[in-house]
Amino acid sequence: MARLAVNPTRMELTNLKKRIKTARRGHKLLKDKRDELMKQFLEIVRENQKLRLKVEESLMRAHASFTVASAVMSPELLEEALLYPKQSVTLDMDFKNIMSVNVPRYQFITKSNDPSEIYPYGFAMTSGELDDALYALSDTLMDMLKLAEIEKSAQLLAQEIEKTRRRVNALEYVMIPQLAETIKYITMKLDENERGNTTRLMKVKDMMLKQAHGY
Amino acid sequence: MKYGEGSIQDIDYLYSTARLRSLERGLLSHDRMDRMCDAKNLEDAVKVLAECGYDDTVPVNPGQVDELLAEARNELFKLVESIAPDLDIVDVFKVKYDYHNVKTFLKGEHGGENYQALFIPCGRVPVEVLCENLRENSYKDFSSSLRRAAEEAKEVLGRTNDPQLADFVLDNACYKEMLALAQQTNSKFLVGYVKLLIDSANLRAVVRSRRMGKDADFLRLCLIPDGTISPAALISEMNPDAFEALYNSSPLAAAGVTGAAVLRGEARLTSVDLKCDDALTEYLKKAKYVAFGEQPLIAFLVAKENEFTAVRTIMAGRFAGLSPDMIKERLRDSYV
Amino acid sequence: MEWLNAIFSGPFLAILGAALAAGCAGAGSARGVGVAGEAAAGVLTEDPGKFGQTLLLQALPGTQGIYGLLVAFLIMNNIGLFGGNVNVTTSQGFMYLAASLPIAIAGYFSGIAQGRASAASMGVIAKKPEELAKSMLYPAMVETYAVLALLVSILMLTNV
């Protein structure tokens, strides 16, 4: 492990010791954050899966009804019936904060609250099967919106988890070992200096004793 | 040929009846439908269609089936018009396409959607003329009923932005004009058919709007007043049993029973459509016992239009990979 | 009053009878064959292979005209029109006229009726060509009454 290119001074040592302390602390905090994010993420994913199955199922149902409706009615009549919508929907969006991640929340507002306002056609020329198809679709709309919200949240959370994980790893495997290595190097260097100094002093002391007493 | 005040001269229909009887052999009978459903592959199903006079190229997607059928529909009207002694009878069946085209134009213009492909060129007014008339608000080539309905629908759509209300206006006018035209032809059979058509449209409308939880005011708008069963009775009878009883003595008795079952939540809506269509076919089958006259012509025209639906159902079912039984379940009774 | 005498003269009445027999029965046949022919044309448009069968059916209502012709010939022969020596009393003339009426009336109406029945049978063979024999029986039944009328007319003529 490479050490940092610093001067092995006592001042630098104090500095590095301070930095490693912060790094260890940050590492612990980030690890906690990562764990919590994981927990949230798993919850969302589980919910996502459930919702996805539900949406897929009802979409299949809507599609089946549509197939029958389009078989019974000529394509021109079918498309004409759906050419101009009666009900309209506007979408509102705000954000929710999960562990400092901003996830979107959707809300939609229909022009009319009557659930039977979704059929934009007269009954004389259309098949009842089309009613079923439209009903199934409008029923799914809410769930689909919720699904979009959850999928986006999961995506954002996954990104955040990845980022946090990379930071944790960087601290754990690069930053902290590097600092520790450097500290060790400085300490050893300082100790070495110390020992050299002592030896030199002992040598000087011997030489001085020889000169003074003539041993 | 101008007729007297009385009934139609059946002698005028000798040629057309004999020719149609020949053509009836080519109709998609129940046997043929079954064979199409049970056919091992698409090629075999198409072979049955070729027996019925359709093109024998194997379609690769449902869109091609639709094209094939649209062409067959245009040809049907050309044929029937070339052999019908009285074109007024054919007009009764063309009216609905006029109203469809008006609807398409109004909705398309209002919503700014691309709608050019949705016109059906089988109406009395050619599509380009119809569009031009509507665009210029001149209506000079429209019948008076069509004109009145188109103006009203345009006004309603502009005022309320509600395409359903505009549809009601046009649908009502469409059936009224069909009935008026049918009465002009002096054909009791045709008048009876149009009335039955109105009754079945009303029956389905009642069942469907009740299911949507709509109130009497809504029903008053969507029901067509000229059938044999008055809308007032249909609106006031909220009880499924009473509803069923209204149709007791009508050819739609079976459809009434099913409709009541749907209202009680015991049956699926599809079955009502099916029963209504079957009752109409049953009515048309009377034409089989008429040696010659306008009845076989009317029956042939409708049978052919129903055949298109059957072909579309079978082919769509095959493309969707449904089992033969599931397709058969959705098929209507056939005229032959 | 000369024209009244001419009308009530024996030869005129007998010839009137012959004319009625040939004319009315012929008119009936013509209409019948026409009606059947229209229907035959309809079948042929879609199925040219049925020419023979439709022709057979179309020919059925044609017999009344032949019967009428036969009766007319008999009358003319009886009164000696071909010999150029017509010698018929007024009462004989009325008898010839009366004897022509069965085939004239029955021929006219049965011709039309048979034509309609034939046209209806065309509808049958249009759909089911194998039922030709059965479907021919129905218009052939109408023939019975034309034959009966012919029989009566001939019996009357031979005994005038």
Select from B113, B202, B212 the residue whose CB has the most chain A CBs within 10 Å, as the one to mutate to test that interface.
B212
Tell me the mean pLDDT in the region A23-35: 92
Q: Does the distance separating the beta carbons of A131 and B163 come in below 8 Å?
A: no
Chains that touch A (3 or more CB pairs under 8 A): B
Q: Is residue A144 in a domain?
A: yes
Tokens of A1: 């492990």
pLDDT, averaged across chain A = 88
The distance of C22 to chain B (nearest Cα, Å) reads 24
- Domain assignment present for residue A213? The answer is no
| Chain A residues 52-91 with CB within 8 Å of chain B | 67-68, 70-72, 74-77, 79-81, 83-86
pTM passes above 0.95:
no
B residues 50-69 lying closer than 8 A (beta carbon) to C: none
Mean pLDDT of A32-40: 91
Residue C53 contacts residue C25 (beta carbons within 8 Å): no
What gap in Å lies between CA B296 and CA B21, rounded to an integer?
8
> Which pLDDT tens digit goes with each residue over B194-208?
999 999 999 999 888
For residue A99, is it left (φ>0), alpha (ψ between -120 and 50) or beta? left
Q: B9 at the C interface (CB within 8 A)?
A: no
Residue A4 lies in a domain: no
State the amino acid at position B131 in one-letter form.
Answer: C
Q: A97 forms bridges with which residues in the sheet?
A: A102
Residues 6+ apart with CB under 8 A from B266: none
pLDDT, chain B, mean: 87
Pair of tokens at residue A202: 């002992």
Q: What is the pLDDT of residue B4?
A: 40
Q: Count Cβ atoms within 10 A of the Cβ of residue B52 and give its class: 0-12 exposed, 13-18 middle, 19 or more buried.
A: middle
Looking at beta carbons, which residues of chain B come within 8 Å of A116?
A: 212-214
pLDDT at A106: 85
**For the segment A169-215, what is each residue's pLDDT rounded down to a tens digit?**
999 999 899 999 999 999 999 999 999 999 999 999 999 999 888 76
Tokens in use for C144?
Answer: 């019975």
C-alpha Rg value of chain A to the nearest Å: 36
> What value, to the nearest 5°, has the Cα angle with vertex C24 and ends C18 and C30?
125
Per the CB < 8 Å rule, is B291 touching C43?
A: no
3-state helix, strand, coil in chain A (%, to 5): 75, 10, 15
- Quickly name the fold that domain C8-157 has: Four Helix Bundle (Hemerythrin (Met), subunit A) (1.20.120)
Please state, in angstroms and rounded to a whole number, the distance separating the CA atoms of residues C53 and C39: 12
At residue B2, the pLDDT reads: 39
Lookup: tokens for A33: 């954050």
pLDDT per residue over A150-182, tens digit each? 999 999 999 999 999 999 999 999 989 999 999
CATH, residue A60: 1.10.287.3240
Residue B335 in this model has a pLDDT that exceeds 90: no
CB pairs under 8 A between B and C: 62
Residue B3 pLDDT > 50: no
Instruction: Report whether pLDDT(A111) > 90.
Output: no
pLDDT surpasses 60 at B6: no
Residue A215 lies in a domain: no
Cα–Cα distances in angstroms (integers) from residue A73 to residues A130, A141, B98, B209, B305, in the given order: 9, 25, 17, 19, 11
Contact residues on chain C for B300, CB-CB shorter than 8 A? none
pLDDT recorded at residue C140: 93
Residue A214 domain flag: no
Residue in chain C closest to B23 (alpha carbons) equals C46
Neighbouring-strand partners of residue A101: A98
Q: Which residues of B touch A82 (CB under 8 A)?
A: none
Residue A32's pLDDT is what?
92
Any chains having at least 3 CB pairs less than 8 A from chain C are B
Q: Which of B275, B86, B283, B281 is CA-nearest to residue B189?
A: B283
Rounded CA-CA distance B303/B295 in Å is 12
Q: What is the pLDDT of residue C83?
A: 82
Asked if B196 and B280 touch (Cβ cutoff 8 Å), the reply is yes
Average pLDDT over residues A81-90: 84
**How many domains does chain A contain in total?**
1
Greater model confidence, A3 or B69:
B69
Q: Per this entry, what is the length of chain B?
A: 336
What pLDDT, on a 0 to 100 scale, did the predictor assign at position A1?
A: 60
**Closest Cα to residue B250, out of B288, B294, B295, B198?**
B198
Q: Does B85 touch chain C (CB under 8 A)?
A: no
Residue A177 belongs to domain spanning:
10-208
Alpha helices in A82-171, H assignment, sequence order: 128-169
- Closest chain B residue by Cα to residue A65: B270
| Token pair 């007269």 in the structure block, residue | A122
Is the confidence at residue B226, as pLDDT, over 70? yes
- Taking contacts as CB-CB distances below 8 angstroms, the residues of chain C near B24 are 126-127
Q: Are A85 and B108 spatial neighbours (Cβ–Cβ below 8 Å)?
A: no
Q: Which residues of chain C fall below pLDDT 50?
A: none
The sign of the torsion formed by the CA atoms of B179, B180, B182, B183 equals positive
Integer Cα distance of A164 and A177 in angstroms: 19
Task: Taking each helix axis as running N to C, give the angle between helix C90-127 and helix C51-59, from 0 to 180 degrees, rounded to the nearest 10.
Answer: 160
Ordered alpha helix ranges (H), chain C: 2-7, 10-46, 51-59, 63-78, 90-127, 132-158
Which residues on chain A are in Cβ contact (under 8 Å) with B209?
Answer: 123
User: Is A175 within the bounds of a domain?
Assistant: yes
Say if A164 falls within a structural domain: yes
Query: What are A178's strand-pairing partners?
Result: none
CA atoms of A183 and A189, how far apart (whole Å)? 10
When CB atoms are compared, the residue of A70, A80, A127 closest to B100 is A80
Distance CA A107, CA B54 (A): 52
